[in-house]
Amino acid sequence: MKVAVLASGRGSNLQALIDEWQEGSLPVEFAGVGSDNINAQALVRAEKAGIPVRAFLRENYSDKEAQEKDILNWFEELGAELLVLAGYMRVLSPSFIRQADYPIVNIHPSLLPSFPGLHAQKQALEYGVRVSGCTVHFVDEGMDTGPIILQQAVPVFDEDNVDTLSERILKVEHEIYPEAIRLLALGKVKRQGRKVTIYRHS
């Protein structure tokens, strides 16, 4: 399965995917990594792994539509069969999602549908939940509303702050994102409307 990635920052989830791929436990081909941030560490990580990279900087486009058109064209050239969002900080437009003829997945640092959008860990702490976690989901036209593929919970402790909770969640992100991509690559994920079924043993 040819995987394209969009990432805007640190790229630790991308690194978790690259690590498993290099160990031979992720049966995909990384076709390319795109970013809207020229300084994204994710681009450095991809280049180091020999994956083609390309920057799509806001300042080079008159509007988001033009930027997304270039991204779509590049992914088409690469023959992308799955788009993985790994900390991509710009919401994809409904038109992008409609035009992409491959599934798009994202990882979000909360147990959706709680705390969608930005600063999910801060939202969770402010709400006072005792359990949070992360969610891998298909991307639809809403904000973190797509069908859920995998979730993993972590405890929230009285003494937690945004940094400690984020770190605990990130650790499990690095486990479930590669697992979700592996299941997708192996054709073990079936989606029917909002309902996702995983066939781990068939």
- Is residue 9 involved in binding ligand GRF (CB under 6 A)? yes
- Minimum CB separation of residue 130 from ligand GRF in Å reads 20
Query: Which one among 4, 28, 78, 86 touches ligand GRF, defined by CB under 6 A?
Result: 86
Please report, for residues 65, 68, 91, the alpha-carbon distance to residue 62 in angstroms, rounded to integers and kept in the order given.
Answer: 8, 11, 17
Can you tell me which residue has the tokens 């394209």? Answer: 4
- Minimum CB separation of residue 120 from ligand GRF in Å reads 8
- Is residue 10 involved in binding ligand GRF (CB under 6 A)? yes
Q: What is the rounded CA–CA span in Å between residue 117 and residue 109?
A: 10
Query: Which one among 4, 33, 67, 108 touches ligand GRF, defined by CB under 6 A?
Result: 108
Rg of the chain, C-alpha, whole Å:
16
Q: Is 32 helix (H, G, I), strand (E, B) or coil?
A: strand
**Does 108 qualify as catalytic in the annotation?**
yes
Query: Which one among 3, 4, 6, 11 touches ligand GRF, defined by CB under 6 A?
Result: 11
- Is residue 45 involved in binding ligand GRF (CB under 6 A)? no
Q: Is 187 helix (H, G, I), strand (E, B) or coil?
A: coil
DSSP H helical ranges for the chain: 12-22, 41-48, 64-78, 94-99, 120-127, 162-185
Query: Which one among 3, 4, 5, 13 touches ligand GRF, defined by CB under 6 A?
Result: 13
How many Cβ atoms sit within 10 Å of the Cβ of residue 32?
20
Tokens of 20: 């498993």
Query: Which one among 17, 28, 92, 109 touches ligand GRF, defined by CB under 6 A?
Result: 109
Contacts (CB under 6 A) with ligand GRF, residues 159-188: 170, 173
Angle between helices 12-22 and 162-185 (to 10 degrees): 40
Contacts (CB under 6 A) with ligand GRF, residues 111-140: 134
Q: Which residues are designated catalytic?
A: 108
Residues that bind ligand GRF (CB under 6 A): 7, 9-13, 86-87, 107-109, 134, 170, 173
